[in-house]
Amino acid sequence: MPEKGPSIPKALLKSPTMQVILFVITLAYVVFPVDVIPDVLPVIGWLDDLAVFITQISVFFMYVHEKRKQAAAKQQSGPGEGGSNGR
């Protein structure tokens, strides 16, 4: 089944600037007392913070993995390839 095209979140997540912004937002969500589920509720209040934090870390690792894969592919292609045809 062919893909319909890039989704907006995937395109946004490829930006290093967006990674920094998401990290700051995640950190603010975990640190500030305003949450979806208040932290005063034992265990349950901490689970939403943990879920947000784990999600951000996994997105960051996917970003790093993709960048490393791109760098390896670029390195494999080598400087000799790329359209100059040796002229």
Is pLDDT of 80 > 60?
no
Residue in 31, 22, 84, 30 with CA at minimum distance from that of residue 59: 22
Domain membership of residue 3 (yes or no) is: no
Can you give the pLDDT at residue 68? 92
The beta strands (E) that lie in the chain are given as none
State how many domains the chain has: 1
Q: Are 34 and 27 in contact (CB under 8 A)?
A: no
What is the residue range of 48's domain? 12-61
1-53 confidence digits (pLDDT tens) = 555 655 656 666 778 888 889 889 888 888 887 777 777 777 887 888 888 88
**pTM of the predicted structure, to 2 decimals:** 0.64
**Radius of gyration for the chain, computed over Cα atoms and rounded to the nearest angstrom:** 20
Can you give the pLDDT at residue 35? 74
Domain membership of residue 1 (yes or no) is: no
Domain membership of residue 70 (yes or no) is: no
Is pLDDT of 82 > 70?
no
List Cβ neighbours of 14 (8 Å cut-off, separation of 6 or more): 63, 66
